[in-house]
Structures are given as C-alpha cells and as structure tokens.
Amino acid sequence: MCPMPTHTCVRDAHLRVLVAEPQPALRKALLDAPWQRAASGEPDLRAVSNGRDLLTGIAEFAPDVVITRPELPALDAFEVCARLKKADTMHRPAFLFIVDTEDEMLACIAQDQTEFVRWPLPLAALVAKVEAIVQRHRREQAMSDEFGVLQAEHESLLDEVASAERAILSAVQGLSRPIERLRVRKSPSSIASGDLLLGASPRSGEEWLLFGDFSGHGLLAAAGALTVAEIFSAMSQKGRPVDSVLREMNRKLHARLPVGMFFAACLLRIDRWRQHVDVWNCGMPDVLLVPDVDGLAAPIIERFGSNNLPLGIVPDTAFTLIGQSAAWNAGDRLYGYSDGILESTNWTGESFGDERVQATLSTTAGSPGQGDMLAVLYDAIWEHREGRRQQDDVSVFELVLTPAAIRADLRAGVAANSSATSLVDGRAAIRPRGAEPVGNQLRGNQPG
C-alpha cells in the first residue's frame, strides 16, 4: 500500500514542485523550464513517472504544486487526489494538469479540477501559471490553518461552557425536593435545558411544584435557573406566601436577565389534606387536571391557563398575580408541559398543539385499563414529529394526586387488599367538587 502523508512538514518559503510525467522527454522538458524566472527563486524540483510514485513523493517531499497528466501508469492522478482528500493530513498540494485533448479537459472539469493547461504551451507561461497557483494555494492554506486554530479555541470554549452548565444544573437539582408520584419526561435541545422543574414541601401535607421555561438555552438559562431555585428553596422553607415568592423571582430576574429574555413559570400548591390545588400560571401552556374516571368515560379536563405575565419582563411595581384553584379526588392527575411540545412540528409544518395534548389524555383516560398516560402522550409527540429534529426543549410532567391520609397508609406498608379498601374509603370521604368553587380566582396574597 502506498504511504499517505499524515503530518505537516516544516516548511519554508522556497517553492517545491513535483512533476509526474511518464514520457522521459516531456519530463525533462518540464524540469528544464526557465524556473529561475520565478519570483520566489528557483524551486526544488523532483520528478516521478507513475501515480504510485506520485503518492509516495507527496508524502516525502510535501510539494507546493504537482504538475501531472490526468492518466498515469499504476494509479491515475484523479485517484491520487481522491486518496489525499480521504487521508488524515493537513498538507494537500495544488495540482496543475497538463492536457492534450478536449476530452482530458472535460475529464478534469468533471473531477472538479479546474487548474489545467493545454499542451504544448511556452514553458515561461507554465512557470508563471505555477507561481500564480502556488501563491493562491499558500494564501488558502494560511486561512485554513487560522480557521483550524479558531475552531479548536471555539471547541475548547464550548467544553468549558458545558462544564459550567452541568455544574450549575447540579446545584439547581440539589435545591429541589422530591414529590411523591411525580413523573417527568424531558428531552433537552442542549446540555442546559431552558425547562425547569422544582419541588418543595413547606409544611406537612402541602407541596409546591414550580414548572417553568426560560426563553433561551445554555449558560444564561442555567444561571437564571440557579437564581430561581435559590429563591424557591429558601422562601418555601421559610413558609413565605406564594405571592411573595413569585414577586421576588420576578424582581431578581428583571434585574439580571438581558432584555428579551424571560422565565415563563407555573407554580402549583397541592394541599393533600384539603384535597385542593392552587395554580399561578405566568406564561406557561395550560396545566391540566384530568379526573380519574376508571376508564368508564372520557373525562372533563379542567384547564388552568396563563393569566399572568412571565417573570422578568416588567418591574415589581407593574407585576400582578392572579391564581386559580380547584378541588380534586384521589387518583386525579395533573399534567404540565412546555411549549416545546405544542410547537413540535411534523414535516408539513403542522404543530402538535393544545388540542392534540388534551385529546390524547382524554382518550387514554377514558379507555379501560388506561395504561401509562404519560408514556402515551410522550410517544404521541414523537410520532407526530416523524423523526424531525427537535427545535426546542420538550418537557412534560404527571402528578398523581393522593390525599395525605392515604399517603400515610401507603407509607405504613398496608397490605394490597386493605390499601384498595382505604382508597375506596378515601374517595367516599372526599368533599365533592361542588363544595368549593372550581376555577376560583386568587388575587394578590390570597391565599398566601
């Protein structure tokens, strides 16, 4: 096998020319050309008679330019060019083809080899042509080398940013608390997803779930997520009102985020004792409450739409909050999802949309033996995209709601049959939905 050039030779400004010509007389004529007229001085010259020796000569001699016929014994010049492109090498000489016929000229053009001269021609013209080719080739090589350095620096910077993103996200997750029967499916479009999900337990029987989406990705989104997580963790542990927590997040994000960047967020407060949920939706897609109908009929899904601005857009003085509330029964489920799901498109540009989300959940919940509703929804999204590349972060969560009394029984390890009885008893003792206004508007600090 012919050796391939695998490294860049140490070079000087001296011109190096390698001639590949099978005919001895023409080979001598090319070597005897008036090379002394070259502006860069008389070059180093070498000659070979076949394509195999040409490949070896390029590896050993590292010429600036190769003067060759298209057809050579052992290995034609076009194949030599093809092997050089495939080789792991920084050095590729310029090629000047000598053609005798129109067919050879067309063959060069077909191979994307546009530097050729028709033979015979004055040798002084050949020398001038070689000089021009070499000068241009050296400029292109210098630009390529500079680009390689810039690309390496860029990749190093990306690695550093990725490491910083991972460190920040690790810190963010450390500030979150687990919530029972919460499941999440995520597919980030970059290392640092703009989507965020945090849990907290301010008091017994009460849990908070913060689900949000930064208008961006990468390091800025990760830094914003850390700010949000620190506020959420510290203020929820102190038992501060939801209104105060969201206002503090808005205040700091408005001060720190660049213009045009914001945080769409939804904070849910789940009361396991009262079997009640309060929702503050600030720019996120609808949160859905899907009743547990045991597969007997399609459920009536309650929606908690956005009625507040995303966080970080306006100053605290212009920021208002309106909440919504609903009662729930054991086994009901809450679903939340980022706009990456709604905006997932197929090859015709059709978005998945709200209607498909709700139809998928309603159909699945109303079917006997419901199965894994979260998996069904997630699979429906991927099927809709038909393999198209993901453009945004995709996140969806499912929270199966369980009253505090039933949760205590489950933790105590009640047997399977007595657990089933507890669930039935629990449902019988639950306050009917009509006992408290569903969709009640919560303004300001109420409830706190």
In the structure, what pLDDT confidence band is assigned to residue 427 with cuts at 50, 70 and 90? very low
Least confident of 126-135, 159-168, 339-348: 159-168
In the structure, what pLDDT confidence band is assigned to residue 238 with cuts at 50, 70 and 90? very high
Distance from the first to the final alpha carbon of the chain: 79
DSSP 180-244: TTEEEEEE-SSSS-SEEEEEEEEETTEEEEEEEEESS-HHHHHHHHHHHHHHHHHHHHTT--HHH
Q: Nearest Cα to 225, choosing from 214, 209, 236, 210? A: 214
Range 387-425 burial, b when 16+ CB lie within 10 A, else e:
eeeeebbbbbbbbbbbbbbbbebeeeeeeeeeeeebbee
Tokens of 92: 């590729």
pLDDT tens-digit series, residues 263-322: 999 999 999 999 999 999 999 999 999 988 776 666 778 999 999 999 999 999 999 999
pLDDT tens-digit series, residues 387-426: 766 566 788 899 999 998 665 555 555 444 443 333 333 3
Mean pLDDT score, 233-237: 93
* pLDDT surpasses 90 at 169: no
Residue with tokens 């914001």: 262
DSSP 238-290: TT--HHHHHHHHHHHHHHHSPTT--EEEEEEEEETTTTEEEEEEESPPPEEEE
d(CA 107, CA 94): 17
Residue with tokens 């007389």: 25
**Which secondary-structure segment (H or E) carries 333?**
strand 333-337
Is-contact 201 207, C-beta < 8 A? yes
Q: Does domain 175-443 fall into CATH 3.60.40.10?
A: yes
- Residue 321 or residue 11, greater confidence: 321
d(CA 185, CA 394): 8
CA distances to 212, 261, 306, 329, 442 from 320, rounded to whole Å, are 18, 19, 13, 30, 11
Note the pLDDT of residue 321. Answer: 94
d(CA 22, CA 74): 11
Q: Do domains 16-147 and 175-443 have the same CATH topology?
A: no
Mean pLDDT score, 372-381: 85
The residues spanned by each domain of the chain are 16-147, 175-443
Q: How many CB atoms lie within 10 A of CB 44?
A: 14
* Percent of residues, the chain, with pLDDT higher than 90: 35
Q: How many CB atoms lie within 10 A of CB 436?
A: 14
Taking the model in full, what pTM does it have? 0.60
* pLDDT surpasses 60 at 437: no
Is-contact 95 66, C-beta < 8 A? yes
- Homologous superfamily (CATH) of 16-147 is Response regulator (3.40.50.2300)
Range 269-298 burial, b when 16+ CB lie within 10 A, else e:
bbbbeebbbbbbbbbbbbbbbbbbbeeeee
* pLDDT surpasses 90 at 364: no
In the structure, what pLDDT confidence band is assigned to residue 29 with cuts at 50, 70 and 90? confident
* Percent of residues, the chain, with pLDDT higher than 70: 80
Least confident of 111-120, 135-144, 278-287, 422-431: 422-431
d(CA 292, CA 400): 10
| Pairing between β-strand 333-337 and β-strand 287-290 as defined by DSSP bridges | antiparallel
* pLDDT surpasses 70 at 356: yes
